[in-house]
Amino acid sequence: MGNIWESVQRGFEKASQEAGRIAKTQRLRSTIDKVTRQLERQQEVLTQTTMDLFLSGRLVQSELLPVCQEFHALLQQLEQAQLELKLLQQGATTPLPPPPPPEYVSPEPVTPVPPPPPGFSPADLPTIAQSFQPPERRFCLACGHAMTSSDAFCSNCGQPVSQPPVTSEGQ
């Protein structure tokens, strides 16, 4: 009778462990889905912010830094949860170190600043940046599609171009 009781007890412990593993797997999948959605939203913000700044000629690192830091933190959370899920599914029992807090900032710069070109000193860079003129652009009057200044017809809707080129200052 004792052997049966021990066998039932071991079976119960195994079932409890499996139920715990399944619950943890579901929590991790939920976390992965949530962080993936947050990453997608941050990618949209990053892309829109970057393009807005680029098109207005004001793309600078300090304006992108908070978005990039949040994006980096979300990527780390996602990688941690995916690794934990993978190890859990493989049956690993070694606990992983906790992920860094959301406000963690990586010690390396988000975007390294390249050195000035040969023959220029850092003092010359503001002059170089001020002399940059964005390329001329045209926009289709029918659909708003951006085109190069040499296009005669819109590559999106086929309408003929009838407007003068516009620089980014005119936007």
Q: What is the pLDDT of residues 118-135, one digit of tens each?
A: 666 656 555 555 555 555
Distances (CA, A) of 93 to 4, 19, 62, 86, 125: 28, 15, 42, 11, 54
Q: What is the pLDDT of residues 75-97, one digit of tens each?
A: 889 999 999 888 888 876 555 56
| Residue 170 pLDDT greater than 50, yes or no | no
Q: What spatial distance separates the first Cα and last Cα of the chain, rounded to whole Å? A: 86
User: Is 75 in contact with 39 (CB distance < 8 Å)?
Assistant: yes
User: Is 154 in contact with 137 (CB distance < 8 Å)?
Assistant: no
Q: What is the pLDDT of residue 95?
A: 57
The larger pLDDT score, comparing residue 74 to residue 102, is at 74
Mean pLDDT of the chain: 75
Q: What is the pLDDT of residue 33?
A: 92
Q: What is the pLDDT of residue 122?
A: 57
Q: Among 28-32, 43-47, 51-55, which is the least confidently predicted range?
A: 51-55
Dig out the tokens for 127 from the structure.
């002059």
Assign 32 a pLDDT band (cuts: 50, 70, 90).
Answer: very high
Dig out the tokens for 159 from the structure.
């309408």
CB burial of residue 123 (10 Å; 0-12, 13-18, 19+)? exposed
